[in-house]
Structure formats: structure tokens, C-alpha cells
A = this chain, B = another copy of it.
Amino acid sequence: MNTTVPTVPAVLNDTLAHIRAVQPRLREEAQARLDQLTKPRGSLGQLESLAAQCYAIVGGNPSLPMRKAAYLFAADHGVAAEGVSAYPSAVTQQMVENFLRGGAAINVLARHHAVQLTIVDVGVDAEFAAHPALWQRKVRRASRNMRREPALSAAEMSAALEVGVEAADDAHARQITLVAAGEMGIGNTTAASALAAALTGQPVAAVTGTGTGIDSSARQIKQQVIAEALDRHLPHWRTERPAPLAALRGVGGLEIAAMTGFFLAAARHARIIVVDGFIATAAAAVAVACAPAVRDYLIAGHRSEEPGHAHLLRHLGLEPVLDLRMRLGEGTGAVLAMPVITSGVHILLEMATFAAAGVSTATA
């Protein structure tokens, strides 16, 4: 028996028990309608498949306009002490304060696209004054240094998963249809690369990039730290995929665990989930490994510049909406994709059919 595999935390029992696959019949129903609309068949490409997926997720009954929200989970990482980032850990706190003042990229995009934004402190190494947009849910002031010990204890991982579940429950209660999770945490590409290696089986070098902008010698250190942590906490990872929660506990982080809980509970509530970049997709991969039906609810907002992201997208079978060489996180890629995604649903529901418009169909 592999003693590094934690049992499923009690907090997830109810969520996992209620996740259902999306009905293929509803996708087919949407595609059949798309084929009757006044355009050549298939001529809206990926917009059509997005529309069909959204239609099926919400049970064939989308209501317009769609309500949109993003939850931005912030936490520090013990592994940042190893020199794996271009920025000091203090930037996590500083950026949370920037989010609360509305000055960050995610604030601008959320305002511009009418996306409700909530900041969730799940583990920043600092204290914040109360703020209406801030949820104070600190589990611990930073995850532990994965080079020396598992990033999270079993209890810490459970608590962080629960924060994510709470956020998705909140979105459901507020009747949000389109949800995204973003993150802020200096050092978190190290955790995401470690998870990507563990979950996909790719070599560390293939899934480790320059994060916020480290040089090649720092990248060497980052790869070594990741390889050591994997070998220590998931000794068989090179030959056998570890249990997803064992990977999350060993080499994850608090905001990554919260996003995992968020994706699981958002799928349980049948929300349309827009996944952001590398870190968020690592959390999504953990969620899908826990409950494969979660995959049906995921839309990849964009393809990040981080090299590990392409591997995770392929592993999950996700085709990104945008490919703009972004690598910022915060949920920016997910929120930027939302107007494209909602466009597909409007197309499906609001276009005229050939019959209704009196337009001739193809002669071929």
C-alpha cells in the first residue's frame, strides 16, 4: 500500500458524489440547431463547438445575458526560498493589495467584460485589512518548502480544497453561469511544473519554463528543485501516475488546492468553467484525475507561453480559445476568452434558421 496517498478528504465526498457527465444528446441537439442557422455548415468553427458545449453544460437551457465571475486565489509558496522566481515573495502580498485597489490586469479585464471578481486569500504570507472584494480564508502563511517536506499537510490540503468548494458554491448561489479561477502566488509555476510532470509523466525539463522571467541558470535550479521534490514525495512518479491528491499534497500549493476544489464543485453545480493558464490547468488536471466527468465542464481560455501548459492541454484534450502568448495568470486568459465564449451561445440562440429567414440552402 502506498502510504503517501491521502484518503479523499471528507469535504469532497458530497461534491464528488454529485458530479455528472454532460449529456452527449444535448451537444447533438445544439449542433443540429447550429446546422439549421443561416450560415454554411460548420463555418463558425470552434465557436460552434464552444456553443454546443455551453448549451449541454447548462442542460439545454442557457439564459442570456450570461452572468460571469472570477475567483482569484492567492497564496505564497515555501519553495520560493529556493530562488525559483524572478520576484521576491513579498510581491504576492503587494499584488493582492493591487487587486483590492483595482490596478492589476485582471481588474481591468474583469471591469471591461462585466465579470464579478473576488479575491481569496488562501495562504498569503501577510495580513490584509477587511475589504468587500476579499475573502480571508488563510489556511497557512504559505505552503511548505516541497524540497524539504510535502507542500501541504493532509489537513492543510483539505482546508484549501474546502475554500475552493465554498467559492464554487457561492457562484452557484449567485446564479453565475460562466466561472473562472485565477491565481497569484510567487513560486507557483514551480508547483505547477511539478504537478504537470507527475500527472502527465513528461520529463521535468519539458514542463518547466521561465515563469515570470528567470534566466537559464535559475531555470536549472528550478528543475533540480522540482525533480528532488517529486523523487522525495512521489517516489514512483517516473513510471506510474501517482494518485492526484497525493501529487497535490506533495508538490502543489494552497491556491492550487483551492482551484482544484473550485473546479470539482463548479462541475458539480454544472457551471461553465473557463480555465486560465498553466497554474489553473494544473489544478484542473488534478480535478479531472479525481473525477473524469469534470472534463466535460472545462473550456481552456487560452494557451500560455509556459511550455508545460501545452502538455497539460493535450493531456486533458482541451483546445484553447485564445493563443496570444500570454503568461500572466490572475485569470486574465480565462476572462479575456469569455466574450468569445458568450458570443457562441448568443449565435446559437439568436440567429435565424434557413427556413425562418427564407434563405436557400447549399445546392451541393
Contacts and interface: CB of A to CB of B under 8 A. Distances in A.
Contact of A213 (B38, B41, B87, B325): B41
A236 interface: no
Contacts of A321: 324
Contacts of A19: none
A194 interface: no
A305 to B, nearest CB: 7
Given A322-B340, A352-B103, A352-B104, A357 B39 contact: no
Contacts of A364: 86, 213-215, 218
Interface in A10-55: 37-41, 43-47
Interface in A69-115: 86-88, 90-91, 94-95, 97-98, 101, 103-105, 107-109, 111-113
B339 A105 contact: no
A359 interface: yes
Contacts of A152: none
A137 interface: no
B351 A87 contact: no
B113 A343 contact: yes
**A43, A95, A104, A332 interface centre (most CB from chain B within 10 Å):** A43
Interface in A165-183: none
B103 A357 contact: yes
B360 A90 contact: yes
A357 B101 contact: yes
A97 B101 CA distance: 49
A193 interface: no
B357 A324 contact: no
A347 interface: yes
Contacts of A86: 40, 362-364
A323 interface: yes
Contact of A105 (B39, B98, B361): B39
A350 B108 contact: yes
Contacts of A363: 86-88
A132 interface: no
Contact of A326 (B43, B326, B360): B43
A328 interface: yes
A189 to B, nearest CB: 11
Closest 9 CB pairs of A and B: A103-B352, A45-B325, A339-B339, A46-B324, A40-B212, A43-B328, A94-B359, A86-B364, A86-B362
Given A46-B324, A47-B324, A47-B336, 8 more contacts: A38-B98, A43-B213, A103-B352, A103-B356, A104-B357, A107-B351, A112-B342, A322-B322
Interface of A: 37-41, 43-47, 86-88, 90-91, 94-95, 97-98, 101, 103-105, 107-109, 111-113, 212-215, 218, 305, 321-328, 332, 336, 339-340, 342-343, 346-347, 350-352, 356-364
5 contacts: A40-B327, A108-B346, A112-B346, A113-B343, A339-B340
